[in-house]
Amino acid sequence: MKLYPLKFKPIFKYRIWGGEKLKTELNKNYDEKNVGESWEISNVSGDETLVFDGVLKGNSLKDLIDQFKGDFVGTAVYKKFGNEFPLLIKFIDAKTPLSIQVHPNNKVAKERHNSFGKNEMWYVMQADKDAELIVGFEEKMTKEDYKNHLENNTILNVMHHENVNEGDAFYIPTGRVHAIGAGVMLAEIQQTSNITYRIYDYNRIDVKTGKKRDLHNDLAIDVIDFNLYKNYKINYNLDKNISNKLVHTPYFRTNILDINSTIKKDYSEIDSFIIYICVRGSMDLISEGIKYSVKLGETLLLPASIKKVQLKSKSAKILEVYF
């Protein structure tokens, strides 16, 4: 059986803060209310996405790795992760703000949860007027200062609030306190992990449970980075029809392509799968003479064994993600 570019069937997640944009803006198909997340490519236990079509329809990422090994994920990726898939790709729609939260690093997550840590990045696809993200602190902070702000319900006053627009991108390393604000829809690229420490949640009640959501301040306090940083937003170039570097880390690499032509891509030097996330417009990928369309709000995974493709669009912005 031969590998080909793969789409997966998304998994939709109810969230207390979720809205309708995944349906109205990205044409996702679901009936539930308050869907806040579309998990596009996931190997999280219990939430494994399955191949959408073709002869491999119904296969999970684990199935594909078991069957194709390095041909699917890349030889180096397979040696490092075995049958685990290292990345989780989501679209997120925040109608109301997410909790203020933080994620542990690989070491802590392994010790406490037998999980990867959760380094992640955001690419803003749409933002309402005056919508914002919360990233890091606005002033120098000690552990004691932080505890006082938590006890006094003033933690929001010392967080860095940043108004955002389409195209803004942020890297959220483990330890950085953060939250997506109301009115923001974004693409999220992260390590395969579902470990979140919630530190503040606006004292709100979840209508599904009738209760406040749990906070994890005892766990969070040891992993928070209290340092102050000058800039949290990523500055990047957006030259036409080439891969522009967005975020390159030990956990994933993301480029952005602004395409208005036909371009040839040769991935011979990259020993990894490639994931394309369409964040504006639409694109056709041509592999061995077969055309695969990627529309706004869709993802496509190119197995590592496929090295040469063409990307064709009149107008598209594509995130290009690999390990």
Query: How far is it, in rounded angstroms, from Cα 270 to Cα 191?
Result: 19
More confident position, 17 or 1 = 17
- Indicate the pTM of the whole model: 0.96
Average pLDDT over every residue of 90-118: 95
pLDDT at 280: 98
Query: 132 to each of 27, 54, 155, 168, 310, how far by Cα in Å?
Result: 24, 40, 16, 11, 36
210: left (phi over 0), alpha (psi -120 to 50) or beta: left
Average pLDDT over every residue of 39-44: 98
Of 179, 23, 36, 37, which Cα lies nearest the Cα of 95? 36
- Among 15, 112, 176, 198, the active-site one is 198
Q: Does 120 belong to an annotated binding site?
A: yes
- Averaged confidence pLDDT in the chain: 96
Q: Is residue 29 predicted with pLDDT exceeding 90?
A: yes
Average pLDDT over every residue of 28-40: 96
Output the six-digit token pair for 52: 């959408």
Average pLDDT over every residue of 247-260: 98
pLDDT band at 93 (very low <50, low <70, confident <90, very high): very high
pLDDT band at 188 (very low <50, low <70, confident <90, very high): very high
Q: Please state the domain extents for the chain.
A: 8-220, 244-322
CATH 2.60.120.10 corresponds to the domain 8-220:
yes
Q: Active-site residue 253, yes or no?
A: no
pLDDT band at 208 (very low <50, low <70, confident <90, very high): confident
pLDDT at 62: 97
Query: 316 to each of 16, 105, 117, 153, 174, how far by Cα in Å?
Result: 32, 34, 32, 43, 31
pLDDT at 86: 97
Report percent pLDDT > 70 for the chain. 100
Q: Is residue 1 predicted with pLDDT exceeding 90?
A: no
pLDDT band at 207 (very low <50, low <70, confident <90, very high): confident
pLDDT band at 177 (very low <50, low <70, confident <90, very high): very high
Helix, strand, coil share of the chain (percent; to 5): 15, 40, 45
Average pLDDT over every residue of 89-112: 96
Q: Does 178 belong to an annotated binding site?
A: yes
Q: Indicate the CATH number for domain 244-322.
A: 2.60.120.10
Q: How many CB atoms lie within 10 A of CB 113?
A: 14
Report percent pLDDT > 90 for the chain. 98
Q: Is residue 233 predicted with pLDDT exceeding 90?
A: yes
Distance of CA 162 to the CA centre of its chain: 19
Q: Does 84 belong to an annotated binding site?
A: no
